[in-house]
Structure 1
């Protein structure tokens, strides 16, 4: 478990320094492989989607187990490297915040075309239908939701289950982004991917809400307002997890999120989250700062949790019930003809 803790810490540092790889990202490679499998397995039924999702996630899980065991056989450093590599691949918090900062800079400079071109890097909304306030709101909501999905989730699952757990989490999250929408093509085929992703994010989303409450003063916000918006408004959101992150962010920032939300396949009328005014570019900058604070606190908690798990595991083998070698030495075998 100490190897797991050091691996998580190394992954967090690597994410801060490097961000997501621009080429050959393993998540993108998995997405390409999943798309290839989909061409052979697609059928407009839930059953086909269950088989598709379960097969891909099982393959990733087995690969993760094998990688972690191989690292463990080579020693603590190799095991930590396995956890670090998997967590780094799964985490995307630094790139999320950098993209949010780029969006804010484009909006401040009045470059709406550039902002619309950048928006698909944050969310799946139709940017052509959005003006500057709409782009700011879409980016802020994406920062809030993806603080949980792109960073808190990987940290939680890395601390809880190491390499296989964090890889399965990221694969499930990727499948949800690919086929979990309610579009006509994926309403049934993507059902399993969407529901499984919801399940994996139940704990990370609520941890995100708690951390937003704790970090609200970093952006001049009120912990009480963040808590109130979460408890009152999150349940109205169509997602059981995104609503927690978005509502708590809205309360902490003192803004109002939700409303008409245009996707490529449909227009959704989202519920109102928070009590304040509509967000602007300055609020987007504050949201990025809040996300960084939440990510930093989550990283510290994940490392601490992994260390405590390691201490508990060690205690089980060093406590009063630890198996001990007998103090009686085995009597040596006597050679034939030799007197005792």
Structure 2
């Protein structure tokens, strides 16, 4: 009920203003709490980073637990839409698709424009990427973010309600800001490991959803390709999209998925976006159906 309504709100209205966006508030907290952490010794950075992560998680989960408790005392016809309003900012489906389409549109203008627009979606350096690599990075990003930005928040909402979705969104935002090697190796260790743990099931579910809308490859292939990436999770949706489109995807010098296939064309990008839309809605409707079943059959309210 709330999941489906939140999806419809996202699809029709998009993101709330930045001043009202809880993920923006999470980012501000992490920016403030992360000041100076990388300059500490390894041991101090590890424990200080873990403490800062834990306090932030406790803060945001506590706020959403309080709000969920307030909503739980309302009649269902009021609880459902208000819960959907609170859930909506914790995932971003329409924005993901809008940003992805903007990259391909920019690439049609010039390679430099495509590189610049891609930098809004990925953390890697885009300045040296050729046209094929820009499209490869774009398809990787939309498949990985289908898990991170859509399926995973809804999955954790289904399991733990609004506090679960808030915890996931905080963990994923912390990983995006702190979970890097180099100077953040130790300060961001907690953030990186928490994000890995919370994405174990959603990433694999996302891969199955991509396969479900176009079951043209063997699941054994998916497993083999997914293991090629350093991340225990991101390789699953990326490999599913690569195999489903019959293209190669990769990060220069790190990994190549489905290496015997050609690099993606503009047509492959359009088909990839269509598959992501289909898989996202399939996953959303599946989770919404499970929410209704939990409520009406088992009597469990989210």
Both proteins in one fold, TM over 0.5 = yes
TM-score by length of 2: 0.92
Q: Hey, what does 2:12 align to over in structure 1?
A: 17
Per-residue Cα deviation, 1:33-88 (whole angstroms, up to 9, x for no partner) = 22112226663432222111111111111111101001112332443234312321
Please point out which of 13, 28, 47 is paired with 2:24.
Answer: 28
Q: Which moved more, 1:56-65 or 1:274-283?
A: 274-283
Please point out which of 231, 244, 251 is paired with 2:223.
Answer: 231
Determine if contact 1:103/1:139 at 8 Å carries over to the other structure. yes
Determine if contact 2:137/2:251 at 8 Å carries over to the other structure. no
Q: Hey, what does 2:74 align to over in structure 1?
A: 74
Spell out the pairing of 1:1-340 with structure 2 (5 A cutoff): 6-21=1-16, 23-24=18-19, 25-39=21-35, 43=40, 44=42, 45-109=45-109, 111-182=110-181, 184-216=182-214, 223-225=215-217, 227-260=219-252, 268-273=253-258, 275-314=260-299
Gap regions ≥5 residues in structure 1: 1-5, 217-222, 261-267, 316-340
In structure 2, distance between residues paired with 1:73 and 1:40: 43
In structure 2, distance between residues paired with 1:117 and 1:291: 23
Aligned-residue offset at 1:309 = 0.9
Q: Hey, what does 1:320 align to over in structure 2?
A: none
Per-residue Cα deviation, 1:83-141 (whole angstroms, up to 9, x for no partner) = 312321111111111111111122223x2232222112211111211121111111111
In structure 1, distance between residues paired with 2:69 and 2:259: 46
In structure 2, distance between residues paired with 1:240 and 1:7: 30
Determine if contact 1:61/1:167 at 8 Å carries over to the other structure. yes
For these two proteins, the number of residue pairs brought into alignment is 295
Q: Which moved more, 1:195-204 or 1:125-134?
A: 125-134
Please give the secondary structure, in 2, of the residue aligned with 1:121.
coil
Evaluate the alpha carbon distance shift between residue 86 and residue 226 of structure 1 in structure 2; reply closer, same or farther with a 3 A threshold: farther
Determine if contact 1:234/1:273 at 8 Å carries over to the other structure. no
Determine if contact 1:229/1:250 at 8 Å carries over to the other structure. no
In structure 1, distance between residues paired with 2:151 and 2:135: 23
Please give the secondary structure, in 1, of the residue aligned with 2:263.
coil
TM-score by length of 1: 0.82
Please give the secondary structure, in 2, of the residue aligned with 1:258.
strand
In structure 1, distance between residues paired with 2:168 and 2:86: 11
Evaluate the alpha carbon distance shift between residue 79 and residue 67 of structure 1 in structure 2; reply closer, same or farther with a 3 A threshold: same
Determine if contact 1:16/1:94 at 8 Å carries over to the other structure. yes
In structure 2, distance between residues paired with 1:113 and 1:32: 30
